[in-house]
């Protein structure tokens, strides 16, 4: 086995037995094997990848990039959080400082530049950086489907959390919404969000929960309810699209994925609108890296955007660019393109996660957009309709939409 140190502290590449993994380390390599990675990504373009001195460097780097994109560490690790998700807190890539910088994009670009020294005519792809805007419809409204008992529990919860104004307003808002004035619902920001997207030429994707395999965790609405059908109609009429947000326990169940896919397709049929297989993002970002990709592909999905960490924004698979997901069982790429989820409102705002204030949150999103700009990537941003609790959330959302051009 060969061990070579990466220039950033705390990471080694361990290469042997036809595989490669990342291992956290606090020591420097002192063995007899020549250190291949003695340059940062910004300096590797000065290396002749075909020289005897650096023989094997290209193979080592490409192996590293493949295993990060394929999620090999996630498959082999037994670390999971309470929702059976691989957490950023246990990611060796994140521990090495690559959560905030795209490992695959940095080193992949370095390889291209090194090869351009040998073949100056070699051209990188000409894709353009862009914004990809999305919304998981976990709680479309607060009141239309809420029973009086559930209302009382919500008021008590608001009081315990110090949300006194919200608790005081709740009974009146509940009564008005239940009487048909849906615009008074505090979660109803759909029209406003579409207004903001359209101002910058963006087309939003609204991911719909179409089943309840997990019970109450899958929300309190049915996609076929008249209130929801009016919402879907308004979204589609304005040129935005619906995606599938498979329910909590669907990530290891092909029949559940297929059933919920069909229910979202049926929305289009009922509205008399053309349809295709919609994009998908797993509810709670539950994603078994050894199983879920193959199930999604088998269900006919061709675009997924589940691969972001719930506990930390950034580059879970080391890139801001779409890529084909890998099936570890069959050892082949799938006809399923992953659009990495870089930033989610709950991750950035929630006390149990990053818990950022306005300044730090805006800086965080700007930093991610900067990497997308540098590597011609996709700033995939998720913002829930019910996550506009402070006035500054509206301003931060508007600012984020203006960091990169909308997708063509």
| Domains of the chain, residue spans | 2-118, 130-400
Q: What is the pTM of this model?
A: 0.86
Its CATH class, for the domain covering 130-400, is alpha beta
Q: For the segment 88-139, what is each residue's pLDDT rounded down to a tens digit?
A: 999 988 887 788 889 889 888 877 877 777 778 877 777 899 999 999 999 9
Cα 33–Cα 119–Cα 6 angle in degrees, nearest 5: 30
Q: In Å, how far from its chain's centre is CA 191?
A: 23
Q: What is the pLDDT, as a whole number, of residue 89?
A: 93
Q: 40-44, 177-181, 305-309, 317-321: lowest mean pLDDT where?
A: 40-44
Q: What is the pLDDT, as a whole number, of residue 166?
A: 74
Q: Is pLDDT above 60 for 5?
A: no
Q: In Å, how far from its chain's centre is CA 355?
A: 18
Which has more confidence, 248 or 121?
Answer: 248
Q: In Å, how far from its chain's centre is CA 216?
A: 23
End-to-end CA distance of the chain: 47
Q: What is the pLDDT, as a whole number, of residue 305?
A: 98
Q: What percent of the chain has pLDDT over 70?
A: 85
Q: 94-98, 274-278, 382-386: lowest mean pLDDT where?
A: 94-98
**Three-state secondary structure along the chain?**
CEEEECCCCCEEEEEECCEEEEEECCCCCCCCCCCCCCCCCCCHHHCCCCCCCCCCHHHHHHHHHHHHHHCHHHHHCCCCCCCCCCCHHHCHHHHHHHCCCCHHHHHHHHHHHHHHHHCCCCCCCCCCCEEEEEEEECCCCCCCCCCHHHHHHHHHHHHHCCCHHHHHHHHHHHHHHHCCCHHHCCCCCHHHHHHHHHHCCCCCEEEECCCCCCHHHHCCCCCCCHHHHHHHHHHHHCCCEEEECCCCCHHHCHHHHHHHHHHHHHHHHHCCCCCCCCCECCHHHCCCCCCHHHHHHHCCCCEECCCCCCCCCCCCCCCCCCEEEEECCCCEEEEEEECCCCEEHHHHHCCCCCCCCHHHHHHHHHHHHHHHHHCCCEEEEECCCCCCCCHHHHHHHHHHCCCCCECC
Q: For the segment 128-160, what is each residue's pLDDT rounded down to a tens digit?
A: 999 999 999 999 998 887 777 777 877 787 777
> CA-CA distance, 232 to 340, in Å (whole number)?
25
Question: Ramachandran region of residue 185, left (φ > 0), alpha (ψ -120 to 50) or beta?
Answer: beta
Q: What is the pLDDT, as a whole number, of residue 297?
A: 98
> CA-CA distance, 48 to 323, in Å (whole number)?
27
Mean pLDDT score, 298-325: 97
Which has more confidence, 39 or 332?
Answer: 332
Residue 89 tokens read as 């807190």
């Amino acid at each position: 086995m060969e061990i070579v140190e990466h220039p950033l502290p705390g990471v080694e590449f361990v290469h042997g037995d036809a595989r490669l993994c990342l291992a956290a380390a606090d020591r420097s390599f002192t063995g007899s094997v020549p250190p291949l990675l003695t340059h940062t990504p910004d300096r590797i373009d000065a290396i002749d990848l075909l020289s005897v001195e650096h023989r094997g460097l290209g193979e080592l780097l490409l192996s590293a990039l493949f295993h990060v994109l394929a999620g090999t560490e996630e498959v082999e690790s037994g670390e999971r959080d309470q929702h059976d998700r691989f957490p950023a807190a246990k990611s060796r890539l994140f521990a090495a400082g690559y959560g905030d910088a795209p490992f695959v994009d940095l080193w992949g670009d370095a390889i291209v530049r090194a090869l351009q020294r040998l073949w100056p005519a070699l051209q990188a792809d000409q894709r353009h950086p862009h914004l990809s805007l999305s919304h998981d419809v976990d709680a479309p409204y607060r009141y239309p489907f809420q029973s009086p008992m559930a209302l009382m529990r919500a008021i008590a919860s608001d009081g315990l959390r110090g949300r006194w104004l919200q608790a005081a307003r709740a009974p009146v808002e509940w009564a008005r919404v239940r009487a048909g004035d849906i615009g008074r619902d505090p979660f109803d920001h759909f029209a406003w969000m579409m207004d903001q997207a359209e101002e910058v030429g963006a087309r939003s994707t609204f991911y719909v929960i179409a089943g309840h395999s997990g019970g109450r965790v899958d929300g309190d609405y049915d996609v076929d309810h008249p209130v929801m059908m009016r919402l879907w109609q308004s979204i589609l009429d304005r040129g935005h699209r619906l995606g599938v947000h498979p329910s909590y326990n669907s990530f290891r169940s092909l029949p559940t994925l297929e059933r919920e896919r069909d229910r979202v397709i049926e929305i289009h049929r009922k509205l008399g609108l053309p349809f295709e297989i919609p994009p998908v993002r797993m509810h709670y970002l539950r994603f078994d890296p050894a199983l879920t990709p193959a199930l999604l592909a088998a269900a006919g999905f061709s675009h997924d955007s589940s691969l972001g960490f719930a506990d930390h924004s950034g580059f879970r698979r080391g890139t801001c660019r779409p890529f084909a997901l890998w099936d570890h069982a069959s050892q082949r790429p799938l006809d399923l393109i992953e659009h990495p989820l870089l930033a989610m409102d709950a991750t950035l705002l929630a006390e149990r996660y990053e818990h950022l204030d306005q300044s730090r949150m805006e800086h965080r999103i700007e930093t991610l957009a900067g990497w997308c700009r540098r590597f011609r990537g996709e700033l995939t941003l998720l913002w829930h309709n019910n996550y506009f609790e402070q006035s500054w959330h509206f301003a931060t959302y508007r600012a984020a939409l203006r960091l990169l051009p909308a997708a063509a």
